[in-house]
Amino acid sequence: MNLPGQLVPPGDSLDYVMPWLIHELTHAWQYQHIGWTYILRALSAQFRYGAAAYDFGGEANLVKCRQEHWTIKNFNLEQQGEIARCYYACQRRPTRLTSRTSRTY
Ligand SMILES: [Zn+2]
C-alpha cells in the first residue's frame, strides 16, 4: 500500500488511508500490551462474528457501555480498532460515530 505523502483533505479518494492506518496502529498498540496473542484474539473475533466483529454499536452504544463502567478493554480487539478509526474520522469530519461492518482490516 502506498501511503500519501501528506494528509489528504476530507472527501479525497485517499481519505480512507489514514483511518485504516489508525485501525492498524491500534493492533500495534495491542501487540505492545498483550503480545502475540493479540492476533489470536483478533482472529477469534473475526471467525466468531464475521464482519460483525467490528461493530461496536456506534456512539449511542459507547455512551451506554461507559455508563455501565465499560472501558476499551471490554470490547473485542477489532471493535477497539474500529473505535479508534471512527474517533479519528469523526475528528476530521464531525459526524456521529457509527460502526462500519462492510470492510475488514
Ligand atoms: Zn483489525
Give a yes or no: residue 9 inside a domain. no
* Model pTM score: 0.83
Give a yes or no: residue 44 inside a domain. yes
Give a yes or no: residue 78 inside a domain. yes
Give a yes or no: residue 39 inside a domain. yes
At 91 the pLDDT is 87
At 90 the pLDDT is 87
What is the CA(24)–ligand 1 centre distance, in A? 6
Give a yes or no: residue 77 inside a domain. yes
Range of the domain at 65: 17-92
What is the CA(77)–ligand 1 centre distance, in A? 7
Q: What is the DSSP string of 25-78?
A: HHHHHHHHHHTTHHHHHHHHHHHHHGGGGG---HHHHHHHHHHTT--GGGS-HH
What is the CA(102)–ligand 1 centre distance, in A? 13
At 5 the pLDDT is 83
Q: Along the 105 residues of the chain, how does pLDDT read in single tens digits?
A: 777 888 888 888 888 899 999 999 999 999 999 999 999 999 999 999 999 999 999 999 999 999 999 999 999 999 999 999 999 988 887 666 666 654 556
Give a yes or no: residue 8 inside a domain. no
How many domains is the chain partitioned into structurally? 1
Give a yes or no: residue 7 inside a domain. no
